[in-house]
Amino acid sequence: MDKAYLHTQYEEEISKLWEKFDAFNPDRVRVYKTNHSPALPVTDKTFTIVMPPPNANDPLHIGHAMFVALEDAMIRFHRMLGDDTLWAPGTDHAGIETQFVFEKKLKKNNQSRFQFDRETLYKMIWDYVQENSGIAQNQMKKMGASADWSRFTFMLDPKVVEIVLETFVELYQKELIYRDYRLVNYCTKCGTAFSELEVKHIEQTDPLYYIKYGPFTIATVRPETKFRDTALAVNPEDPRYKEWLGKTLEIPGLLGPITMTVIADEEVDPEFGTGIMKVTPAHDPHDFELGKRYNLPVTPIITLDGRMDFNWFFEKAEKEEIDPKYLERAHKYHGKKVAEARKLMVEDLKEDGLLVKTDEKYLHTIGTCYRCGTTIEPLPLPQFFVKVQPLTEKVLHALKDGDVKVIGAGHDKILKHWLENLKDWNISRQIVWGIRIPVWYSVKENPDLEIHFTDNGQRVSGKIGELLKTYSFEQISQTLQELRPPMNARYTVALQSPGDEYLQETDTFDTWFSSAQWPYTCLQSHSEKDFERFYPTQVMETGYDILPFWVMRMLMMGLFKTQKVPFETVYLHGLVRDQKGQKMSKSKGNVINPLTVIEQYGADALRMALVIRSTPGLDKSVGDPDFRAMRNLTNKIWNAARYIKEGLSRVESDVQEEKGLINQSKNNEEFLDKLRTLTTQVTQQITDYKLGLAAETLHNEFWHWFCDECIEQTKKGELSPEVLSRGLVTFLKLFHPFMPYVTEAVWQQLRQEPLPWLSITDDAECMILSSWPTQSSVTL
């Protein structure tokens, strides 16, 4: 054996060995274990983990290494126990993330998504993702992930898509899907709506403008929306405004007077600002609700690209006399971005003497897009929603009954909080890269359907009824970019087009709508038998940062679709931070690339450094010293084995006669006792999902007890070689889930030739297929 363990020399070879034995495939493992003589233990339990699918087009980062290290440890442990063990791998299409990356690429080539019809664009992204699809898989293999790659699933595999569509139809039939016109969280930069979860609230200082509003003064941070105010609201108890209640007024403004009624609503806080507020149902969620209660019209002034739209005013100008000054202003504002228009308006307000005062340091919270940071614009849009309450109810019951257990520093309470306060889930996304919503609009029944399509690369927009006079239905449907069906559009929910001249909805599902179904789609996509055999799964292991996005929704959908919780235990790991405990980020330059660590220190060192002393739900700091220390551990394991294989015989002959070996039998007994205790302890720790603790226990006992004390004892003849070797084998097996490569490499070394004090030829050819140590197996 080499003097030191050289990971670069063994890792690839060992991976090939595991592949040769097909050791990740539960079917083959069963056969191997039963046929082996003597037969290796096989239980009647299953153990399944469905892998959190990484984005198919992304290289892996340290967070992925964390999940590989933890999940693979659990998987290898259960495989060794003899359970029917499956780790089902896959990747995600990652809708918005991927499309965004792809659009950036287009931009570099001076192209834009609007040059392509949706089908072409989809194909282009598909090809792009396919190009990169092997990367994630290969990187996970390098980490030693013993997932069954023959059962690999991609989120957009036809079978998966089919199931996702069926689920939508089923939800619809059970009246858990509805289409509604309401304010949605829209990111004008990403060009799509989001659910409440994707909105990140941040504190920000903005000017609060006090504007003269006829006889009143109102305070607002958004003067740009005031043109479309539909009412004024006051608290019914406020004595200042009692006389105005129910009165309709002409309020002078930048574009002439607006007619408004003063309404009373309990929710208006008399203490805030001036105690009177303007109501803009089209651009404020609170006002939208208020507007609903009082039947106010929804009159948008901001477009989906975040620009001011004064077309309504120009239309009005055609019908009635408008002061040219106002018309000029409207033209000035029209088409401007919101922030820019606001500046112009404030200037004009000053000019008209309508600006009473400005509070420049007004601190408030605004919603921003979680991915690009753009301020979220609440815009009225018809979208498909999932009625969540009947679904969350079931999850809360399951949690209460203990059907599913969440492990991770109080995150179970956060989950409960989410479930109790969840709003209906907007699942419509205005992007191409995803699963298209199976909703169909008849062209004949909906002549007002607003559509965009391409004609020789040029974007054409308009109402379908009109456009059909110039273009054929075929041409439109083939080069369709998007539909904007009005709220009253008639639609059919169906897997296939219900007839001729139907256009399918162009919105796609929220990525999480398909991810939420991953535990069953992933298993069903290969065979119904797999689903019966491995579902429900045992563990869902993932980062706490996607608890509401993913875990919560998997529970909701799993219970809806299968009447079972999709997994019994949720294990949440924390963020991986750098050595100083700081978040990793490209801008800080403290990002650790797992592949670099593997090259330098080996996959085992990387895995062990991440797992040792990690605690579910809490963040973990790692750095070079940790990787180095764990690399040293791999070497320590290697050298302990080298001593047993090559050093013991020399020691034997030297010491045997003179020392008399009086204490040997007593020491041997004590050694085996402790080894048994340790085996039980580590087994229990892993079973209890205390993997960080198990790894630490192993490290300490191996290094400071087994190596520092026991190996030294054998040199003095105080411990027998047979007993020590048994100790090594036991440690190797206990270590294997955490450090698969070095333990397997040593195992192969020990199997090469029989040693007089160690017989393992009865055991499996690979450590990965060997059996987990038990009380009774730790003996001579």
Partner RNA sequence: GCUCGAUUAGCUCAGUUGGUUAGAGCGCACGAUUCACAUUCGUGAGGUCUCAGGUUCGAGUCCUGAAUCGAGCACCA
Q: Which residues contact 773 (CB under 8 A, 6 or more apart)?
A: 679, 683, 730, 733, 734
Interface pattern 280-299 for RNA (x via CB under 7 A): ----x-x-------------
Decide whether 46 or 274 has the Cβ nearer to RNA.
274
Measured CA angle at 632 (ends 631, 637), to 5 deg? 100
* Beta strand residue intervals within 309-404, DSSP E: 355-369, 377-386
Q: How far is residue 377's CA from residue 185's CA, in Å, rounded to a whole number? A: 6
At residue 614, what are phi and psi to the nearest 5 degrees? -80, 150
| Distance in Å from the first CA to the final CA of the chain | 25
**Residue selected from 90, 191, 692, 737 as contacting RNA according to rule CB under 7 A:** 692
Interface pattern 587-616 for RNA (x via CB under 7 A): --------------------------xxx-
Q: If we measure between CA atoms, which residue out of 249, 722, 205 comes closest to residue 730?
A: 722
Shortest distance (Å) from residue 697 CB to RNA: 6
Measured CA angle at 764 (ends 763, 770), to 5 deg? 90
Which among 22-30, 137-145, 343-351, 686-694 is the span making contact with RNA, rule CB under 7 A? 686-694
- Helix spans in 612-735 (H): 624-642, 648-659, 664-687, 691-700, 712-715, 721-735
- Between residue 200 and residue 239, which ones bind RNA under the rule CB under 7 A? 200-201, 203, 218-222, 233
Decide whether 406 or 467 has the Cβ nearer to RNA.
406
- Decide if residue 162 touches RNA (CB under 7 A): no
- Between residue 346 and residue 385, which ones bind RNA under the rule CB under 7 A? 364-365
- Decide if residue 36 touches RNA (CB under 7 A): no
Q: How far is residue 303's CA from residue 151's CA, in Å, rounded to a whole number? A: 45
- Decide if residue 718 touches RNA (CB under 7 A): no
Q: If we measure between CA atoms, which residue out of 280, 305, 273, 299 comes closest to residue 223?
A: 280
Which among 18-26, 349-357, 380-388, 636-644 is the span making contact with RNA, rule CB under 7 A? 636-644
- Between residue 542 and residue 581, which ones bind RNA under the rule CB under 7 A? 548, 577, 579-581
Shortest distance (Å) from residue 178 CB to RNA: 21
H/E stretch holding 121 reads helix 118-142
Shortest distance (Å) from residue 529 CB to RNA: 39
Q: How far is residue 336's CA from residue 461's CA, in Å, rounded to a whole number? A: 21
- Decide if residue 106 touches RNA (CB under 7 A): no
Shortest distance (Å) from residue 157 CB to RNA: 31
- Compute the radius of gyration of the chain from its Cα atoms: 33
Shortest distance (Å) from residue 57 CB to RNA: 25
For residue 260, what are the β-bridge partners? 249
- Decide if residue 405 touches RNA (CB under 7 A): no
**Residue selected from 510, 626, 701, 763 as contacting RNA according to rule CB under 7 A:** 626
- For residues 435 and 165, the answer to whether their CB atoms sit within 8 Å is yes
Shortest distance (Å) from residue 397 CB to RNA: 20
**Residue selected from 703, 705, 755, 777 as contacting RNA according to rule CB under 7 A:** 703
Decide whether 273 or 335 has the Cβ nearer to RNA.
273
Which among 79-87, 457-465, 491-499, 707-715 is the span making contact with RNA, rule CB under 7 A? 707-715
Shortest distance (Å) from residue 593 CB to RNA: 19
Q: How far is CA 81 from CA 85, 571, 768, in A?
A: 9, 20, 11
Q: Which residues contact 209 (CB under 8 A, 6 or more apart)?
A: 219, 220, 221, 223, 346, 349, 355, 358
- Decide if residue 462 touches RNA (CB under 7 A): no
- Decide if residue 439 touches RNA (CB under 7 A): no
Shortest distance (Å) from residue 155 CB to RNA: 24
Decide whether 115 or 375 has the Cβ nearer to RNA.
375
